[in-house]
Amino acid sequence: MDNRDHIDFGRMHIPRLFIKLFIPTLLGLVFNAMLTLADGIFVGQGIGSNALAAVNIAAPIFLIGLGVSLMFATGVSVVAAVHLSRGNNKAANINATQALTVPFVVMALVGVLIAVFAPQLCYLFGGSQMLEPLVVEYLTYISPIPALTVLVHVGGFIIRLDGSPKYAMYTSVIPSVLNIFLDWLFVFPLNLGLMGAASATTISEAVGAIMALAYLLYFPNTLRLYKPKFSRTSLRLTMRNLGYMMKLGFPTFIAEMAISVLMIVGNFMFMSFLREDGVAAFSVACYLFPLVFMFGNSIAQSQLPIISYNHGQAAHQRVRSTLRLSLVLTAISGVAISLLGMLAFRPLISMFLTSGTRAFDICVEGFPLFATSFVFFSLNVVIIGFYQSVERATEAIAFMFLRGFVLVIPIFIALPHIIGVKGLWLAVPLSEALTLVVLAVWSKKRLTLT
């Protein structure tokens, strides 16, 4: 089985190298976004707006799990890339094994807790008595997802760094297609409700996890899994290595936490102003957000191994060339997606909500305002990702805290009380725009792109 794409991070022409990574990464994330969209469409059209609201209540819990996965995925990608650039393959292999196994065990335990405490989590994340049965049903059947997500995302980053971005893409594409089919089967012909939608997602993610493990166990190129050791020295070194990976990947975790916090605060604020219909309308924006994240994150993920590898070799011109290319692509795609959201919002909304309902009307009025955030968000993701790639974790963490907590929470709470319901939809665009201004000023003084 030959999945090698003959990638040379240190010598290949930057645009060609970037495209070689970007296309399969983008396609993989497109199918991931399709998975999320399909789930929302089938839930909204097949079960109802309250079910859509219930999924939105539960979603922050799994975004936190995704954040843990991406934290270790980003961290190990940077660390292993630097080790590989210096010829230290054994250290890279050990790091890859540690990043895959320890978080998997931890998140498996988290999944058990989610199932046990589902009723309490419903109210903690902004639910109501009306939504509680639906939230509990969904959480119970989707609780294995945090552990499976570790295998899919950490494994995918390792596979991509191992020179097989196409196979990494398949670990997203195949589960996504399967999930769409199972969503349809379980929700419509079998009429299994939210239990069916959750089961479809869990089964599909399990397939992706098995594919990632199969590659790492049987078909690796350079990055191979090591048998874990349990001596006191090995455990101490494992904790040290994981701590450094967490430091490098922590901005990515904060990014997912920020989305979770945004959804939680949004759920509370929309429930306060517009009740369950408002939460259902907000859930459409949350379901469409992966489309935006897809483009920004695919660029950030594509630049990461290139920049980290060449940073390890002190090839500064190649680092600068990669960053310039990333920023241009991000600006173009971000503007295009924002315009799409502002001009073609009705067909998008009608995929989730029935025209003429109160939830639909609320979303039609507010979504074009929310869409103005997309270009700012994409640029923020890529610029902060650059700081991670060159091991400037402290700055990346500070910027993520700024955009994810310091700005968005007070703006989301205060703005609706100042300008009314429109403030619910404009809180995110305002916080992302302010973050980009701070990033631009800071980076102009400290980054040389010429």
Give Cβ neighbours of residue 14 (< 8 Å, ≥ 6 apart). Answer: 306, 318, 321, 322, 325
Count Cβ atoms within 10 A of the Cβ of residue 429 and give its class: 0-12 exposed, 13-18 middle, 19 or more buried.
Answer: buried
Per-residue pLDDT at 184: 93
Residues 371 and 425: their CA atoms lie apart, in Å, by: 9
Whether the CB-CB separation of 261 and 92 falls below 8 Å is answered with no
Q: What is the mean pLDDT of the chain?
A: 87
What are the φ/ψ torsions at residue 45 (nearest 5 degrees)?
A: -85, -30
What are the φ/ψ torsions at residue 362 (nearest 5 degrees)?
A: -60, -45
User: Over the stretch 194-206, which tens digit does the pLDDT of each residue have?
Assistant: 999 999 999 999 9
Per-residue pLDDT at 411: 95
Q: How many residues does the chain have?
A: 450
Per-residue pLDDT at 6: 60
Rg of the chain (C-alpha set): 21
> What are the Cα distances from residue 173, in Å, to 207, 294, 349?
11, 14, 24
Torsion of CA 26, 30, 36, 42, to 10 degrees: 180
> What are the Cα distances from residue 8, in Å, to 76, 84, 202, 323?
19, 11, 36, 18
Structure tokens at 277: 């219909």
| Burial annotation 203-236 (CB, 10 A radius, 16+ → b, else e) | bbbbbbbebbbebbeeebeebbbeeeeeeeeeee
Model-level pTM greater than 0.85? no
Per-residue pLDDT at 448: 57
Low-confidence residues of the chain, pLDDT below 70?
1-7, 290, 447-450
Per-residue pLDDT at 4: 47
Which amino acid is located at 22 in the chain?
Answer: F
Sign of CA dihedral 240, 241, 243, 247: positive
With tokens 């971005």, the residue in question is 165
374-389 vs 232-312: helix crossing angle, rounded to 10 = 110
Which amino acid is located at 329 in the chain?
Answer: L
Per-residue pLDDT at 450: 45
User: Over the stretch 81-96, which tens digit does the pLDDT of each residue have?
Assistant: 888 888 888 888 999 9
Residues 2 and 218: their CA atoms lie apart, in Å, by: 11
Residues 17 and 382: their CA atoms lie apart, in Å, by: 17
Structure tokens at 373: 């955030």
Residues 223 and 405: their CA atoms lie apart, in Å, by: 36
